C-alpha cells in the first residue's frame, strides 16, 4: 500500500508539472517579449479600414498569432519573422507599432491600398532583409533612418506617391542588391552616394520627375546587372554630361539590361569622350538595350553595326524617325524595335518588324533582324530623298519598286528625276562651268547608286555599311570642293 501510494503521488506530481509547464509556455508566448509582437499585429489590424477578402479574419485570440494569416514565426523564439499580406485589397495606413516587430525579416505588402507615410519606426527593424511596399498609395518621403535596416537586401517602393529626394543615408545599406523606386514623385536626381552601394544589382528609378543629373559614380557599382532610368535628363551641363554618364556605365561589366528610353538624350559628343555607339561597345554582357525616345546622330548607323559588341539593329529606319535639329543635323529617334544581335532576347520578338516600304523584304518572310536589314531601310530612305518618291507610291506595284525605278534612271537620267537643284545659296546658279556641273551630276548619280546597292533583294549582296559611309563621305567632300 505504501508503494502504491508513493507511485500515485509521483504520477500526480508528474502530470501536474506537465500541465504547469504547458500552461506556462502558452502564457509566456503571449506574455513577456512575444506580447510585443502580438500587440503590434493587433495595432496593424486596427489601422485597416477595408479587408474585402477577409485576410485578417483569423487575427483573433482564438489562435496563436503565429498561426494568423500572413504571419510566420521563427521556431526557436516564436517571434514574427515574416508578414506577407500581398494582393489582399487592404486599405488603411501603417502604425508606428510595426517597428516593434524586431525579428521581422520579410515585409510584403505589395499590391494593396495602404496610404499615408511610411513609418520612420521601420528603421528599428535591423533584421529586415526584404522590404516590398510596391503598388500602394504611400506618400511622404522615404524614411531617413532606413539606413538602420543594416541587413536590407531588397527595397521596393515603386508605384506609390512618394516625394522628396532619396536620403543619403541609403548609402550605408551595404547589403542592398535590389532598389526599385520607380513611378513615384521623387526629385533631386540620382545622388552620387548611390555609387557607394557596390552590392547593388538592380536599380530602377523610372517615371520620376527626378531632374538633376546622373552621377558618374554609378560606374563603381561593379555588380550592377540591370539599370532602368527612363526620365527626362535634367543636367545643366549639356550633351557631354549626358553621354559621360553612359560612358561611365561601361565600367559595370556585368550590365545586362540598360533602359535609358525617353531621356531626351542627344547624340554628339566631344572627341575626348567619343560617341554613344563607341561607348556602348564596352558592354560585353548587355542583352537588352532600350533607347526609345532619344535622338542620336543618324551617321551612327546607326557606326553601331561595326563597333558594338554585340551589334545593334535599329529595325525601323524611316523618314519620321529621322529628326533634324536647329543646325539641320540629322538624328535617329524611336529605338522601340532596336535589338542586339546574337542574343535570345532578340529572337523573342514577334509580329511586324519595321514599316511597310522601308522594312527589308526578308522581314516579310519572318526572318530575324540583321544589320543588312537596316542597310536596306537606309538605302530606301536615301533613294526617297534623291528622287522625291515614296516607296509606297501608287506607281510601285506588281513588282515595280523604288529600287527598280532608281536602277532604270542610272546613270544618264539622274538630273531629270533628282529633286536636288544645281544651285547655290539664294538661288544663284553655280558658275557656268561645265566641269562643276559634271561633278555635281556625278555626285547625284553616285548617291543614287549607293541607294540602289543598299536595296538589292538578297541581303548578302547589299553594300556593306562601311563602304556606304566611305562613299557618302567621298561624295560630300567632292560637293564641298565645288
**pLDDT for 25-36, tens place per residue?**
444 444 444 789
Q: The domain that contains 86 carries what CATH number?
A: 3.80.10.10
- Strands (DSSP E) contained in 326-448 are 330-332, 339-340
| Predicted confidence (pLDDT) at residue 199 exceeds the cutoff of 50 | yes
pLDDT value at residue 334: 72
377 located within any domain: no
What range defines the domain where residue 54 resides? 32-359
- 202 and 330 both lie in a single domain: yes
155 located within any domain: yes
- 341 and 437 both lie in a single domain: no
User: Please, which residues have CB within 8 angstroms of residue 209's CB and are 6 or more apart in sequence?
Assistant: 185, 186, 187, 231, 232
Confidence of residue 260 (pLDDT cuts 50, 70, 90): confident
| Predicted confidence (pLDDT) at residue 242 exceeds the cutoff of 80 | no
289 located within any domain: yes
371 located within any domain: no
- 409 and 347 both lie in a single domain: no
pLDDT tens string 104-115: 999 999 999 999
Confidence of residue 425 (pLDDT cuts 50, 70, 90): very low
User: Please, which residues have CB within 8 angstroms of residue 415's CB and are 6 or more apart in sequence?
Assistant: 422, 441, 444
351 located within any domain: yes
Q: What percent of the chain has pLDDT over 90?
A: 35
Better-scored residue on pLDDT, 307 or 377: 377
Report the DSSP pairing between strands 137-139 and 91-92: unpaired
pLDDT value at residue 332: 76
pLDDT value at residue 300: 55
| Predicted confidence (pLDDT) at residue 376 exceeds the cutoff of 80 | yes
277 located within any domain: yes
- 289 and 388 both lie in a single domain: no
- 399 and 322 both lie in a single domain: no
pLDDT value at residue 446: 86
pLDDT value at residue 69: 94
Q: Which of 221, 315, 303 is nearest to 269 (CA)?
A: 303
18 located within any domain: no
Running DSSP on this structure, what letter comes out for residue 346? H
Q: Among the three residues 359, 394, 427, which one is the final residue of a domain in this structure?
A: 359
Rounded average pLDDT over 461-477: 86
- 405 and 350 both lie in a single domain: no
pLDDT value at residue 150: 93
Is-contact 293 333, C-beta < 8 A? yes
- 231 and 86 both lie in a single domain: yes
- 297 and 347 both lie in a single domain: yes
- 205 and 141 both lie in a single domain: yes
| Angle, CA 63 vertex, CA 72 and CA 18 arms, to 5° | 100
Query: Alpha helices of 141-297 — where are they, by DSSP H?
Result: 239-249, 276-280
Better-scored residue on pLDDT, 367 or 137: 137
Confidence of residue 272 (pLDDT cuts 50, 70, 90): very low
Rounded average pLDDT over 230-242: 55
- 215 and 77 both lie in a single domain: yes
- Lowest-confidence region among 157-161, 352-356, 386-390: 352-356
- Lowest-confidence region among 88-97, 139-148, 425-434: 425-434
Number of domains in the chain: 2
- 388 and 349 both lie in a single domain: no
227 located within any domain: yes
- 349 and 427 both lie in a single domain: no
Amino acid at each position: 500500500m505504501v508503494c502504491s501510494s508513493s507511485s500515485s503521488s509521483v504520477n500526480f506530481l508528474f502530470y501536474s508539472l506537465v500541465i504547469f509547464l504547458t500552461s506556462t509556455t502558452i502564457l509566456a508566448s503571449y506574455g513577456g517579449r512575444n506580447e510585443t509582437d502580438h500587440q503590434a499585429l493587433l495595432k496593424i489590424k486596427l489601422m485597416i479600414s477595408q479587408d474585402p477578402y477577409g485576410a485578417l479574419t483569423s487575427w483573433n485570440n482564438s489562435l496563436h498569432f503565429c498561426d494568423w494569416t500572413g504571419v510566420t514565426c521563427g521556431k526557436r523564439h516564436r517571434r514574427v519573422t515574416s508578414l506577407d499580406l500581398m494582393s489582399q485589397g487592404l486599405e488603411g495606413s501603417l502604425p508606428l507599432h510595426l517597428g516593434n516587430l524586431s525579428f521581422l525579416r520579410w515585409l510584403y505588402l505589395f499590391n494593396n491600398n495602404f496610404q499615408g507615410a511610411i513609418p520612420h519606426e521601420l528603421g528599428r527593424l535591423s533584421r529586415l532583409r526584404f522590404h516590398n511596399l510596391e503598388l500602394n498609395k504611400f506618400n511622404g518621403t522615404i524614411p531617413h533612418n532606413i539606413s538602420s535596416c543594416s541587413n536590407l537586401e531588397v527595397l521596393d517602393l515603386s508605384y506609390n506617391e512618394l516625394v522628396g529626394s532619396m536620403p543619403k543615408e541609403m548609402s550605408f545599406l551595404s547589403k542592398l542588391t535590389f532598389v526599385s523606386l520607380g513611378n513615384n514623385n521623387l526629385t533631386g536626381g540620382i545622388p552620387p552616394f548611390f555609387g557607394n552601394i557596390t552590392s547593388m544589382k538592380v536599380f530602377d528609378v523610372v517615371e520620376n520627375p527626378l531632374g538633376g543629373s546622373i552621377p558618374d559614380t554609378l560606374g563603381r557599382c561593379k555588380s550592377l546587372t540591370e539599370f532602368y532610368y527612363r526620365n527626362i535628363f535634367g543636367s545643366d551641363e549639356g550633351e557631354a554630361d549626358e553621354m559621360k554618364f553612359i560612358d561611365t556605365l561601361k565600367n559595370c561589366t556585368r550590365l545586362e539590361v540598360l533602359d535609358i528610353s525617353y531621356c531626351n538624350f542627344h547624340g554628339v559628343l566631344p572627341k575626348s569622350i567619343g560617341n554613344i555607339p563607341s561607348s556602348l561597345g564596352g558592354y560585353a554582357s548587355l542583352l537588352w538595350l532600350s533607347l526609345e525616345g532619344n535622338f542620336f546622330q543618324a551617321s551612327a548607323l546607326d557606326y553601331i553595326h561595326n563597333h558594338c559588341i554585340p551589334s545593334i539593329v535599329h529595325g525601323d529606319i524611316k523618314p519620321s524617325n529621322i529628326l533634324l535639329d536647329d543646325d539641320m543635323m540629322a538624328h535617329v529617334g524611336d529605338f522601340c524595335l532596336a535589338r542586339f544581335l546574337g542574343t535570345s532576347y532578340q529572337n523573342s520578338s514577334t509580329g511586324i518588324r519595321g514599316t511597310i516600304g522601308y522594312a527589308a523584304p526578308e522581314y516579310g518572310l519572318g526572318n530575324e533582324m540583321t544589320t543588312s536589314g537596316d542597310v536596306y531601310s537606309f538605302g530606301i530612305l536615301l533613294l526617297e530623298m534623291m528622287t522625291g518618291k515614296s516607296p509606297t507610291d501608287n506607281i510601285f506595284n506588281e513588282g515595280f519598286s523604288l529600287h527598280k525605278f532608281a536602277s532604270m534612271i542610272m546613270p544618264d537620267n539622274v538630273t531629270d528625276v533628282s529633286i536636288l537643284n544645281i544651285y547655290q545659296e539664294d538661288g544663284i546658279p553655280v558658275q557656268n562651268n561645265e566641269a562643276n556641273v559634271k561633278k555635281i551630276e556625278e555626285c547625284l548619280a553616285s548617291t543614287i547608286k549607293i541607294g540602289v546597292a543598299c536595296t538589292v533583294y538578297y541581303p548578302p549582296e547589299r553594300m556593306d555599311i562601311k563602304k556606304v559611309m566611305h562613299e557618302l563621305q567621298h561624295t560630300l567632300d567632292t560637293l564641298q570642293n565645288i
